[in-house]
């Protein structure tokens, strides 16, 4: 995982247009004292210990590295209450939690208390930890760590790099305003992009993850395939268009909206394209951050079976057989 310099728009969008709450709970977090932070960060291991690379950055070090996925593993899970949230566990069955699949985020996060339960090891050199170098995560420190194992049903991931906020009780803006179920970890596209196939049915509230089985779309059901683009500071981004003009579009399944854009304040966008798939008269929210890429939210994506194939470099959009 690279130490991404996440643009401020990522979390501003999350705050302004994230998922709605179920019960109005504000999901408050409690920042840790300096003494608590010092105790938690007293022992670190180098990135090389986990097979990652270390390199100099902003007067310290950063790291590059990815989790280890077991080959030929697959898991099918129910989404919880319509959100892209699934159940996870650790090595022991008593270690349980909820993970948000935030494809729009380039970075994976874990709440401090849950990270402690999952035996997080912070990374650093010479007793100096690796800080998060992005912006707009609130007035709180965050550091890079590694979780030994996370299981999704019978699918195993090992040595998962995460960033941990030095606060108790909640993930802050990374929870995307989802408070029920409580979000313990947010899987960003740095982790999700390692899978061969991720298929999400928002209509049927289900998801399938596969570590190494390529996907072949159904020819009679395929509506479009959109090429995945790599855009620094963003998560899952595909070839898109507005009024036929090409522009990358972020796929934000955690966002409780149809479409956001920053170039024009309109109630509807007359035409939006995702690959060859064309939407017309799309309800639109204005994001007052100049240059922010447009986003396709959950309400816009829900009508289609969406299969994300990072290794192929495409996202497939298929209609449901009954449609």
Mean pLDDT of 151-175: 95
Task: Return the pLDDT at 253.
Answer: 96
Q: What is the spatial distance between Cα 204 and Cα 303, in angstroms, rounded to a whole number?
A: 10
| Upstream peptide bond of 181 is cis (omega within 30 degrees of 0) | yes
Q: What is the pLDDT of residues 42-68, one digit of tens each?
A: 999 999 999 999 999 987 899 999 999
Task: Return the pLDDT at 59.
Answer: 78
CB under 8 Å to 42, separation ≥6 — which residues?
Answer: none
Mean pLDDT of 142-171: 96
pTM of the model: 0.91
Q: What is the pLDDT of residues 258-269, one digit of tens each?
A: 999 999 999 999
Task: Return the pLDDT at 323.
Answer: 73
Task: Return the pLDDT at 5.
Answer: 34
Task: Return the pLDDT at 14.
Answer: 40
Q: What stretch(es) of the chain map to CATH 2.40.70.10?
A: 8-210, 222-318
Pick the CATH number of 222-318 from 2.60.40.1730, 2.40.70.10, 3.40.718.10, 3.40.50.2300: 2.40.70.10
Task: Return the pLDDT at 48.
Answer: 97
Q: What is the pLDDT of residues 202-216, one digit of tens each?
A: 999 999 999 999 999
CATH topology of domain 8-210: Cathepsin D, subunit A; domain 1 (2.40.70)
Task: Return the pLDDT at 25.
Answer: 34
Q: Label each residue of the chain as H, E or C.
A: CCCCCCCHHHHHHHHHHCCCCCCCCCCCCEECCHHHHHHHCCCEECHHHHCCEEEEECCEEEEECCCEECCCCEEEEECECCECEEEEECCCCCCEEEEEECCCCCCCEECHHHHHHCCCEEEEECCEECECCCCCCCCCCEEEEEEEEEEECCEEEEEEEEEEECEECCCHHHHCCCCCCCCCEEECHHHHCCCCEEEEECCCCEEEEECCCCCCCCCCCEEEEEEEECCCCCCCEEEEEECCEEEEEEEECCCCCCEEECCCCCCEEEEEEECCEEEEEEEEEECCCCCCCCEEEHHHHCCCEEEEECCCCEEEEECCCCC
Mean pLDDT of 216-233: 95
| Paired residues of 99 in beta bridges | 86, 185
Cα→Cα distances 58→5, 42, 53, 123, 163, Å: 12, 22, 16, 16, 17
Mean pLDDT of 98-116: 97
Mean pLDDT of 87-110: 95
Cα→Cα distances 188→30, 60, 233, Å: 23, 24, 12
Task: Return the pLDDT at 24.
Answer: 32
Task: Return the pLDDT at 155.
Answer: 95
pLDDT above 60: residue 6 = no
* Summary mean pLDDT of the chain: 90
pLDDT above 90: residue 151 = yes
């Amino acid at each position: 995982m690279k130490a991404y310099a996440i643009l401020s728009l990522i979390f501003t969008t999350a705050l302004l247009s994230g998922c709605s709450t179920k019960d109005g709970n504000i999901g408050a977090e409690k920042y840790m004292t300096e003494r608590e932070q010092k105790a938690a960060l007293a022992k670190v291991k180098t990135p090389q210990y986990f097979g990652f690379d270390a390199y100099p950055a902003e007067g310290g070090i950063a790291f590059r590295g990815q989790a280890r996925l077991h080959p030929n593993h697959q898991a099918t899970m129910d989404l919880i209450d319509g959100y892209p949230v699934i159940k996870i566990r650790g090595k022991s069955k008593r270690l349980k939690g909820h993970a948000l699949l935030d494809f729009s985020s380039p970075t994976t996060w874990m709440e401090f208390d849950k990270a402690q339960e999952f035996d997080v090891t912070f990374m650093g050199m010479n007793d100096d930890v690796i800080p998060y170098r992005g912006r707009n995560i609130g007035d709180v420190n965050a550091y890079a760590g590694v979780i030994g194992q996370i299981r999704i049903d019978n699918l195993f991931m090992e040595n998962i790099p995460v960033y941990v906020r030095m606060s108790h009780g909640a993930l802050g803006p990374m929870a995307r305003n989802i408070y029920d179920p409580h979000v313990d970890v947010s899987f960003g596209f740095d982790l999700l992009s390692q899978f061969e196939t991720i298929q999400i049915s928002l209509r049927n509230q289900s998801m399938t993850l596969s570590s190494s089985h390529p996907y072949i779309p159904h020819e009679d059901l395929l509506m479009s395939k959109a090429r995945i683009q790599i855009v620094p500071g963003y998560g899952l981004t595909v070839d898109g268009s507005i009024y036929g003009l090409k522009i990358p579009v972020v796929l934000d399944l955690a966002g409780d909206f149809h479409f956001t854009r920053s170039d024009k304040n309109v109630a509807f966008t007359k035409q939006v394209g995702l690959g060859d798939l064309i939407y017309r008269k799309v309800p639109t929210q204005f994001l007052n951050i100049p240059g922010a890429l447009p986003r396709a939210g959950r309400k816009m994506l829900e009508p289609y079976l969406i299969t994300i194939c990072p290794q192929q470099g495409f996202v497939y959009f298929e209609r449901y057989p009954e449609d």
